[in-house]
Amino acid sequence: MSEYFTMPEGYRCPLCPTHDDDDFCWHHLLSTPICRACSHEIINLVNDEKRIDDSALDQLEAVTGLSYEELQVAVLMPEIRHKEKILKSRDFAANHQNSPQFELDEWIEMERQELARTRRMVAIAKARIRVRKKAEQRSEKEIP
């Protein structure tokens, strides 16, 4: 879980610099504090196979210099590892269940499906990155 802290007056979250925030946490990708809302939002921003139109996502790409697919890999790989760990045993899953409205087995099944969906999305993103790199190498060779 993220630890939140305050920043000196005037510090703005790099993903939503148009307004003031109170709580910040460190983000491994940006190596700078981002606000609480963005820290929750960052997974949702890259959690679609097709890029959504969102100003925070524009900012995230600009600040990191990464493409949408590269962001998907960077943000979702830790999520995949986290879920894999949780789903390793039933006891572990019981300790991490954060949706009390579901039966444990029901929740585990939902998490399994979400894990499979996320793995598939990251695999597609990696394939797209590879294809783009190859195309770039080809066009570099063509330059005399």
* Residue ranges in contact with Zn ion by CB under 5 A: 13, 15-16, 35, 38
Token pair listed for 78: 């830790």
Backbone angles phi, psi at 72, to 5 degrees: -60, -45
Residue among 32 and 47 whose Cβ is closer to Zn ion? 32
Closer residue to Zn ion in complex, CB, 35/121? 35
Least distance CB 83 / Zn ion (angstroms):
25
DSSP state of 22: S
Q: How far is CA 129 from CA 67, 122, 123, 132, in A?
A: 9, 10, 10, 5
Give the Cβ contact number of residue 129 at 10 Å: 15
Secondary structure letter of residue 32 according to DSSP:
E
CB of 47 to Zn ion, least distance (A): 17
Residue with smaller CB distance to Zn ion, 38 or 122: 38
Min. distance of Cβ 56 from Zn ion in angstroms?
7
Q: Which is nearer to Zn ion, 16 or 63 (CB)?
A: 16
Q: How far is the CB of 18 from Zn ion (least distance, A)?
A: 9
